[in-house]
Amino acid sequence: MTNDSNSMLITGATLPDGTVTDLIVAGGVIAEIGRGLSSADATVIDADGLTALPGLVDLHTHLREPGFEQSETVLTGSRAAAIGGFTAVFAMANTSPVSDTAGVVEQVASLGARHGYVTVRPIGAVTVGLAGEKLSEIGAMAQSRANVGVFSDDGHCVSDALLMRRALEYVKTFDGVIAQHAQEPRLTEGAQMNEGALSGELGLAGWPAVAEESIIARDVLLAQHVGARLHICHVSTAGSVDVIRWAKARGITVTAEVTPHHLLLSEDLIRSYDTRYKVNPPLRRNEDVLALREGLADGTIDIVATDHAPHPLEAKECAWAEAANGMVGLESALSVVHAAVVESGQLDWNDVARVLSSKPAEIGRLAGYSTPFAVGNIANFTLYNAAASRTFGTEHLHGKGVNSPYLATTLPGQVIATIHDGYATVLDGVLVDAAEVASKARAYRG
């Protein structure tokens, strides 16, 4: 690792535990932590009033490249992540070609490294082509330069019970984890929104909660039976939280994630048929939102993951049934989590650091995030102005997608700076230029 040419002195930052401190970043690592620090030729970042959080890690992002570059690319997705305070993202496998071979995952990883905004860890598909029939080359992907540790057919459920069993067993060989998109396909054919009182009124086919809960129930029992790690993507119902709580109480090695939008938004918004609210799994009832918040607070749900899902305009500018599922979420995630569970006091900033950084890194076996703000750690952190408030608009989106449900709403907080591998990707609330970031990344890699 070669020296980067500028070091940084961050003054007056408030750590998650509340202590105010200075930081010196040099040579890619946190060189010093303390009060009243100085450094001769360092760039000074005044972090007075700003909350320093460890670099956020998103265990569930869709970067769309290769194959769907009209929606997003590794570059634009990485930039969206950086402005959201993220320094690492795990990129889902539903690309084209599907990320089911070493070749594709190595390509995605190397694009991420070249652009340099965030560490991109590709997720490998569980089954070839996401078709749910044969296991993909899990071993090859795990041992590739992409170092894949998370496997998911997200977008599709691994619904065949035997195949799920085999996948759970096989992945143990490589200390991997299967991340399940829990959706029983036969109960959700043509589904458009949560099945309930509102779907009946609006005339939209329902996606019943039991279709998610029954898969989770099955999979936690399978995981217990074969002694494997299981991760549940985008938990969305109160019943799912109950099942996971039950499973953890029995010592089953299951982890779970919730999206920011499921912590904040409920299905009532769909009365307008506004397609920005169409997502899979769908927005649910208020009772589900409250149960998810409690689940996150008591640790039943381990992490927050964005499920950032950009789409081109024409995929949303149509009637509800024709619209694509998905919301962009990288740029707004921290603010939404702030609004949903920090303002209420259910989570403090230490908890935020855990659910958005150290725990997702642990699940994905990403090194360097377990002890944030320790001297000698590679410098990955973000400076967040928790006191800010903004009317969220398209000017705050930096990926290709504008399908955000938060446009024209007021959200708290704003990321002011993000440091990735010792260099800044965001400064003064603005993304650092791509050429400069790429060159810093090159220098860092040596």
Task: Please report, as ranges, the residues that interact with other proteins according to CB under 8 A.
Answer: 192, 195-197, 199-204, 206, 208, 272-275, 314, 317-322
Query: Please, which residue, 194 or 425, has the CB nearer to other proteins?
Result: 194
Q: Of 193, 203, 361, nearest to 280 (Cα)?
A: 193
Query: Please, which residue, 274 or 343, has the CB nearer to other proteins?
Result: 274
Q: Is 255 helix (H, G, I), strand (E, B) or coil?
A: strand
Query: Please, which residue, 49 or 196, has the CB nearer to other proteins?
Result: 196
First to last CA, the chain: 5
At closest approach, how far in Å is the CB of 207 from other proteins? 11
Half-sphere exposure of 43 (CA within 13 A, CB side): 15
Query: Please, which residue, 44 or 321, has the CB nearer to other proteins?
Result: 321
At closest approach, how far in Å is the CB of 274 from other proteins? 8
Query: Please, which residue, 209 or 363, has the CB nearer to other proteins?
Result: 209
Query: Please, which residue, 36 or 203, has the CB nearer to other proteins?
Result: 203
At closest approach, how far in Å is the CB of 264 from other proteins? 23
Query: Please, which residue, 4 or 267, has the CB nearer to other proteins?
Result: 267
Query: Please, which residue, 320 or 384, has the CB nearer to other proteins?
Result: 320
The residue count of the chain comes to 446
- Alpha-carbon span 60 to 32, nearest angstrom: 32
Q: What sections of 38-133 are H helices per DSSP?
A: 74-83, 102-115
Quick one: 271 exposed, middle or buried, by C-beta within 10 A (0-12, 13-18, 19+)? exposed
The enclosing H or E element of 171 equals: helix 161-171
Beta bridge partners, 177, equal: 150
At closest approach, how far in Å is the CB of 75 from other proteins? 29
Contact 246, 238 (CB under 8 A): no
Q: Of 178, 250, 176, 170, nearest to 219 (Cα)?
A: 178
Beta strands of 251-333 (E only): which ranges? Answer: 254-258, 303-304
- Helices 102-115 + 74-83 axis angle, to 10: 50
At closest approach, how far in Å is the CB of 268 from other proteins? 12
Query: Please, which residue, 269 or 387, has the CB nearer to other proteins?
Result: 269
Distance, C-alpha 19 to centroid of its chain: 27
At closest approach, how far in Å is the CB of 275 from other proteins? 8
Strands 177-180 and 230-232, by their bridges, are parallel
Q: What sections of 250-309 are H helices per DSSP?
A: 260-264, 286-297
The enclosing H or E element of 44 equals: strand 43-46
- Alpha-carbon span 252 to 280, nearest angstrom: 26
* From 153, 307, 351, 421, active-site residue: 307
- Alpha-carbon span 205 to 79, nearest angstrom: 36
Q: What sections of 327-392 are H helices per DSSP?
A: 333-337, 349-353, 359-363
Beta bridge partners, 44, equal: 9
Q: Identify whether 175 is a catalytic site residue.
A: no
Q: Is 410 helix (H, G, I), strand (E, B) or coil?
A: strand
At closest approach, how far in Å is the CB of 204 from other proteins? 5
Q: What are phi and psi of 275, to 5 degrees?
A: -70, -10
At closest approach, how far in Å is the CB of 200 from other proteins? 3
Distant-in-sequence, close-in-space partners of 322: CB < 8 Å, separation ≥ 6: none
Return the active site residues.
307
